A and B are shown apart, each in its own frame.
Chain A
Amino acid sequence: MSGLSNLVPRQLRGFVVTGKLPFKPKVTVQYPEEKRPKPERFHGRHVLNRYEDGMEKCIGCELCAGVCPAKCIYVRGADNPPDRPVSPGERYGFVYEINFLRCIHCDMCVEACPTEAITESKLFEFSFASRSDAIYTKAELLVDDDGLPQQLPWEDWKPGDDRNTSGWVRATSPAGDASSEGRAMWSGELGYGVRRPQRGQSDPSGADYPADTDISLRETLSGALRGIGVDDKRPDRGED
Chain B
Amino acid sequence: MGLENLQHNFLTGTLEGMVKWARASSSWGANFGLACCAIEMMASGAANFDLARFGMEVFRASPRQADVMIVAGRVSQKMAPVLRQVYDQMVEPKWVISMGVCASTGGMFNNYAIVQGVDQIVPVDVYAPGCPPGPETLIHSILTLHQKIRTGEITRRSSAEPGAGVHLGEPDSRRALRVKV
Residues of A within 8 A of B (CB): 27-32, 35-36, 69-71, 99-106, 124-131, 134, 154, 156
| Alpha-carbon distance A102/B50, docked complex (angstroms) | 28
Find chain A residues with CB under 8 A from B53 CB: 28, 30
Interface string of B103-119 (1 = CB under 8 A from A): 01111101000000101
Stretch of B4-12, B84-92, B128-136 lying at the A interface? B128-136
Whether B127 pairs with A131 at a CB distance below 8 angstroms is yes
Find chain B residues with CB under 8 A from A69 CB: 108
| Alpha-carbon distance A100/B100, docked complex (angstroms) | 10
B141 within 8 A of A: yes
| Alpha-carbon distance A132/B109, docked complex (angstroms) | 20
Find chain B residues with CB under 8 A from A71 CB: 108, 110
| Alpha-carbon distance A135/B125, docked complex (angstroms) | 17
- Return the contact of B49 from the options A28, A103, A125, A127 (Cβ within 8 A): A28
Distance in angstroms from B116 CB to nearest chain A CB is: 10
Whether A102 pairs with B108 at a CB distance below 8 angstroms is yes
Distance in angstroms from A141 CB to nearest chain B CB is: 14
| Most interface-central of B117, B119, B128, B137 (chain A CB within 10 A) | B137
Given contacts A28-B49, A28-B50, contact A131 B137 (CB under 8 A): no
Whether A102 pairs with B162 at a CB distance below 8 angstroms is no
Whether A124 pairs with B127 at a CB distance below 8 angstroms is no
Given contacts A101-B129, A102-B108, contact A124 B48 (CB under 8 A): no
In the complex, 30 of the A-B residue pairs with CB atoms within 8 angstroms, ordered by the A residue number, are A27-B47, A28-B47, A28-B48, A28-B50, A28-B53, A29-B48, A29-B49, A31-B49, A31-B136, A31-B140, A36-B136, A70-B107, A70-B110, A99-B105, A101-B101, A101-B104, A101-B117, A102-B107, A104-B101, A104-B108, A105-B131, A126-B129, A127-B126, A127-B127, A127-B129, A127-B141, A129-B127, A129-B148, A129-B162, A130-B162
